[in-house]
Structure 1
Amino acid sequence: MHRQLRPLWQRKTAGGRLLSLDHPVPGVGTLVDVLADRAAHDEPSALWEPDTDAAACVFSQLSPDEQQVARAWAQAGRASWAEASDLVGVTAHEADSVRRKLRRLGRRFEERTAAARVTRGALTGIAGSGA
């Protein structure tokens, strides 16, 4: 019973003790302050992902650097690609090349999707005509 009633931060787990989030950290405050400070430094753009499957398919074909530029543009609202380049720290020319690549990949995706629909429709018509 004594072990069950003991607070979690006083028990040993995997050879070490758990610490409460209000545990003091010298020079910073508490563990909550340390974790909140770390979360504040994370880039919000790393959390954004495309909403639709089609956009995610196109987005996945970009390199990680190109994805950062696209994320910055998508999160900036009505910002231009030049403004997105400033947010990420690349040149306006590099951001414009990401814009052109996204446009090219998007068109290719639409063309392939349309061709797949036509093929699927033709195959359905062939399979249905024999019955």
Structure 2
Amino acid sequence: MNLKHVVEAFAQIIPEEEKSAELEGDHYVVKLRGNGRSLPPDTENVTMSGLGDILEAGKDVVVLKSVDDGVERVPQPSLGALLAAYRSSEKVVERKSLRDLEVALHVRTVACTQSVEPSVIDGLALKWLALPVSDRWREAVSTALVGNWVAPLEEEGRLHVSALGALRADARAIHRHLVPVWRRRTRHGRVLSLDAVLGDGLSLYDLVAADVDLLSRVAGGIYEDERLNTVLRGLDPAEQQVVFAYAAADGTTWTEAAAAVGATDPNTFGERVRRKAKRLAAEQRRRCELVSRHP
């Protein structure tokens, strides 16, 4: 693939109102209008696949030497896209994917050197990455942009359009970390903070405080709440130790609590204790309800 083919391929991803392409003597020149973008700082003295070395990098154009010793003048703003898109393959890939990649690379270049307007990040997220727009998403996309999704370009001189998928995945992962725990979704709903306001000066903690302290131990291993004693009597000593470890926050899951007390198969044993304790507690509640109905 010679330089003319590269330039022709690149011309396909630039909107008509931004380009003109014409033959001037022996040189095929592509001119971009109303662009104003600058040459990325890491693209000087790079040998491109199918092309020769960069001979000159001026303010408005980049002069390239092709493999057949022909000299080509290509507008400076196109170099980032040439490096990003056409070093990866000698095929002309889907127009939209290449345009998306070129825009993302341009915004990254600006973000690495100066502040970027929020509207630019929002536009990139919404139009080019198909991501939602919000303050939290803006922070996620901004952080992902300066990440290592362009590592193949820096290490191998190649960047496939699939890099956009890596950028999108990075943004989503960062966004998940930015979402507070009490706003994350679980299988059956959302996790809520105990500080969540319920109105009238009440919070969730006010409703569950009694149950939070239910497992507070007293002397002799006897507990103040008889309901708990009833449940514990249905467990053998090893199972009780798992309940104690879980209540004392020795593990954030039943598996971790079982491991903390030395169970040989923490996953199976912890799950068994969880199910058994849940069943005993449900039976205890049922009996209490019967007593309240028939005192």
Q: TM-score, normalised by structure 2?
A: 0.24
- Find out whether 1:104 has 2:279 as its counterpart: yes
Query: What is the aligned residue count?
Result: 74
Closer, same or farther in 2 for the Cα pair 1:105/1:50, shift >3 Å? same
Name which structure has the greater RCO, CA cutoff 8 Å, separation 6+: 1
Superposition map of 1:21-32 within 5 A: none
Higher Rg: 2
- State the secondary structure of the residue aligned to 1:82: helix
Higher mean displacement: 49-58 or 59-68: 49-58
- State the secondary structure of the residue aligned to 1:96: helix
Q: Which residue of structure 1 lines up, in the alignment, with residue 291 of structure 2? A: 116
- Find out whether 1:82 has 2:255 as its counterpart: yes
Instruction: Identify unmatched segments of 5+ residues in structure 2.
Output: 1-219
Inter-partner Cα distance in structure 1 for 2:223 and 2:268: 23
Aligned mate of 1:67, from 233, 237, 240: 240
CA RMSD of the aligned region, Å? 1.9
Closer, same or farther in 2 for the Cα pair 1:74/1:48, shift >3 Å? farther
Inter-partner Cα distance in structure 1 for 2:259 and 2:249: 11
Q: Report deviation, 1:84.
A: 0.6
**AA partner of residue 79 (structure 1):** T
Higher strand share: 2
1:50, 1:59 within 8 Å by CA — same for their partners in 2?
no
Inter-partner Cα distance in structure 1 for 2:236 and 2:221: 15
**AA partner of residue 103 (structure 1):** K
**AA partner of residue 116 (structure 1):** V
**AA partner of residue 80 (structure 1):** T
Q: Report deviation, 1:118.
A: 1.1
Closer, same or farther in 2 for the Cα pair 1:48/1:96, shift >3 Å? farther
Percent of pairs with identical residues: 30
Inter-partner Cα distance in structure 2 for 1:115 and 1:99: 24
Q: Report deviation, 1:77.
A: 5.9
Q: Which residue of structure 2 lines up, in the alignment, with residue 56 of structure 1? A: 229
Q: Which residue of structure 1 lines up, in the alignment, with residue 121 of structure 2? A: none
Which consecutive aligned stretches of 4+ in structure 1 deviate over 3 angstroms post-superposition? 47-51
